[in-house]
């Protein structure tokens, strides 16, 4: 099973970190290397340009890939399907125009020039609205084009909107909301190994923001403790040999830990221990 991951840029480190936390430790993953083995002999990592990952999956060079939804939509590959939203790299593709200009809606762009690094996404956006525009494909510095008379508006990626504001551009309309996903070729999506990898990554994401809470509690106060535990699916209760207390284990949200510890303590709990959770399979 070959997994294509971004070879550099802002998605490279988060993608590798997620694979590591899922147990797919990369071996001999030196800089500038084109591929690397993992601790699973059946899984290999391919280092690929982010924009090329959809094509690698579609053509069979890779079976799975980690890249942005925007890149897959731009590649227009029909046999590449999303397996899991990985929750990072969130951004939006937006239509923007000069703040002081007369463009205030997508319809105002009709008959004008729009610069973008995403011509396929842009073309679909305007075609769906029946708006005829002249698209100019650029490979960078898209925000500059309206100020040098290359375009009247742009379609570009934004995360916080700060770059648009710095370049005196106003957002007109959202074109696409994107985040990084695990993708698979459609004929691989149901494969056992592909599902195992998806579950491993999902277990890491499920564990984020969760803590494992353990304590000893008086048997006669269990109902009170259950009432104050915001646990995932209820606590696990275990007898303690030679003791009239029981062990109570529960998964709780990290934001609830402070109040929960105080609440169970007031209800007689002792030996309270809180630990991080690396993976959680639900």
- Cα dihedral angle (70, 75, 80, 83), rounded to 10 degrees? -10
Centre a 10 Å sphere on the Cβ of residue 39 and count the other Cβ atoms it contains.
10
Tokens 């009170």 belong to residue:
224
Q: Which fold has domain 210-276?
A: Alpha-Beta Plaits (3.30.70)
Task: Give ∠ CA 240-243-246 in degrees, rounded to 5.
Answer: 45
Ranges of CATH 3.30.70.120 domains, the chain: 210-276
Q: Which fold has domain 2-88+180-206?
A: D-Maltodextrin-Binding Protein; domain 2 (3.40.190)
pLDDT of residue 213: 94
pLDDT in tens, the chain (282 residues): 999 999 999 999 999 999 999 999 988 655 567 889 999 999 999 999 999 999 999 999 999 999 999 999 999 999 999 999 999 999 999 999 999 899 999 999 999 999 999 999 999 999 999 999 999 999 988 999 999 999 999 999 998 888 899 999 999 999 999 999 999 999 999 999 999 999 999 999 999 999 999 999 999 999 999 889 876 567 889 988 777 899 999 999 999 999 999 999 999 999 999 999 999 987
CATH 3.40.190.10 fits 91-178, yes or no: yes
The DSSP secondary-structure symbol of 233 reads: S
pLDDT of residue 77: 95
What span, in angstroms and rounded, lies between the C-alpha atoms of 87 and 98? 31
What span, in angstroms and rounded, lies between the C-alpha atoms of 75 and 219? 60
pLDDT of residue 28: 67
Ranges of CATH 3.40.190.10 domains, the chain: 2-88+180-206, 91-178
Q: What residues have CB less than 8 Å from 270, skipping those under 6 apart?
A: 215, 216, 217, 245
Q: State both tokens at 62.
A: 């890779």
What span, in angstroms and rounded, lies between the C-alpha atoms of 85 and 83? 7
On whether the CB atoms of residues 204 and 281 are closer than 8 A, the answer is no
Indicate the pairing of strand 80-85 with strand 210-218: unpaired
């Amino acid at each position: 099973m070959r997994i294509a991951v971004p070879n550099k840029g802002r998605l490279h480190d988060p993608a590798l970190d997620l694979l590591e936390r899922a147990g797919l430790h990369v071996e001999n993953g030196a800089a500038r290397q084109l591929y690397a083995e993992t601790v699973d002999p059946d899984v290999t990592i391919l280092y690929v340009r982010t924009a090329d990952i959809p094509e690698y999956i579609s053509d069979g060079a890779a079976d799975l890939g980690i890249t942005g939804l925007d890149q897959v939509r731009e590649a227009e590959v029909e046999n590449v399907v999303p397996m899991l939203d990985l929750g990072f790299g969130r951004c939006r593709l937006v239509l923007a125009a000069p703040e002081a200009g007369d463009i205030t809606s997508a319809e105002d762009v009709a008959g004008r020039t729009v610069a973008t690094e995403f011509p396929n996404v842009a073309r679909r956006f305007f075609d769906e609205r029946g708006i005829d525009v002249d698209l100019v494909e650029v490979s960078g510095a898209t925000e500059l084009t309206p100020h040098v008379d290359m375009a009247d508006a742009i379609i570009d990626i934004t995360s916080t909107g700060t770059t648009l504001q710095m370049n005196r551009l106003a957002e007109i309309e959202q074109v696409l909301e994107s985040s990084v996903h695990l993708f698979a070729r459609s004929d691989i999506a149901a494969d056992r190994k592909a599902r195992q990898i998806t579950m491993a990554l999902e277990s890491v994401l499920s564990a984020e923001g969760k803590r494992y809470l353990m304590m000893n509690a008086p048997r006669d106060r269990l109902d009170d403790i259950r009432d104050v535990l915001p646990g995932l699916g209820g606590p696990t209760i275990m007898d303690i040999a030679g003791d009239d207390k029981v062990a109570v284990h529960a998964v709780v949200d990290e934001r609830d830990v402070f109040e929960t510890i105080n609440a169970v303590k007031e209800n007689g709990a002792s030996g309270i221990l809180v630990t991080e959770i690396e993976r959680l399979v639900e």
